[in-house]
Amino acid sequence: MIELRGVTHRYARRSLFDGLLGRPEHAPVVEDVSLTIAPGETLCLVGQSGAGKSTVGRIAAGILAPSAGVVIGKPRVRMVFQDHAGSLNPRRRIGAMLADALTPDDGRAPADLLREVGLPPDFAERRPHEMSGGQRQRVAIARALAGLPDLLVLDEPTSALDVSTQVEILGLLRSVKEAGRLSFLLITHDLSVAGRLADRIAVMRSGRVLETGPASQILTPGGATDPYTCALVQAWQRMAPPLPVHARARVPAYAAA
């Protein structure tokens, strides 16, 4: 499906203080990252804020070009951004935004996309401010599904949502994946989210991938090999799971999250 091989991305330092302190002109955000995503697979990137996860996602989606390394494979890629509200034009109606995202080879209408994500067709007449956070996230997912993509890049798809809405969005994503044989690159800091969707997990820290393995292995006590990964998993296991176990359940049509 898609492979990132030795991918590095750097950004320019422009601060006067950086120059005075002798810092390099370009600092790596992502360094020598290699990942593969197979057809129908969910690969989850986990790690703390600033690890470089979103940058990897943007490179996979073709939004950013790597400074070094290559991206192999040309699947149709769509991205669901972390800020679902900011990614929707507040002045436009939902139906118009979905219509713009559809391609000639996609025979669906905006109403079809809304149904697929559990929203009634009349939501096409609404604007983003007339919807809840969960409904806006469903619209963002519907727009990403337009054009029959092979791969969805999901950047923190449940962040800023309440727990019950997180459960519904996770159930929706699982249903969408099973129905369309999509691949997912899922970006999250929450191992509970990873455990409910991921086939494999890649752990990032300071721009590098430390460890990659099956989700069942990484999240099992003693299954991870990298000390940082072990610490993340142990910290997660000490906390009460924030998401109920029924997060895998399918979402009923026209849910009003």
Chain-centre distance of CA 67, in angstroms?
Answer: 22
- Classify burial at 115, counting beta carbons within 10 Å of its beta carbon; exposed 0-12, middle 13-18, buried 19 or more: middle
**Rounded Cα distance, 77 and 45, in Å:** 17
Q: Model-level pTM? A: 0.85
Two structure tokens written together for 44: 């989850």
| Domains with residue ranges and CATH for the chain | 1-9+27-75+150-162+171-213 (3.40.50.300), 88-148 (no CATH)
- CA 76-78-82 angle, to 5 degrees, is 160
Rounded to an integer, what distance in angstroms lies between the CA atom of residue 57 and that of residue 61? Answer: 6
Q: List C-alpha distances in Å: 115 to 17, 40, 152, 157, 199.
A: 53, 22, 19, 19, 27
Looking up tokens 């073709």, which residue turns up? 62
Instruction: Say if strands 68-72 and 2-12 run parallel, antiparallel, or are unpaired.
Output: antiparallel
Structure tokens at 203: 């752990």
Point out which residues pair with 187 in neighbouring strands: 45, 155
Give pLDDT tens digits along the chain (257 positions).
899 999 999 876 555 565 566 555 556 789 999 999 999 999 999 998 889 999 999 999 999 999 999 999 988 999 999 887 788 999 999 999 999 999 999 999 999 999 999 999 999 999 999 999 999 999 999 999 999 999 999 999 988 788 888 999 999 999 988 887 799 999 999 999 999 999 999 999 999 999 999 999 999 888 999 999 999 998 888 875 555 444 443 433 444 44
Predicted pLDDT of residue 96: 97
**Closest by CA position to 85, among listed 123, 120, 137:** 137
Residue 2 phi/psi, 5-degree rounding, is -150, 145
Residues 84 and 256: their CA atoms lie apart, in Å, by 16
Q: How far apart are CA 16 and CA 25, in angstroms?
A: 11
Pick the closest to residue 5 from 30, 28, 40 (CA basis).
30
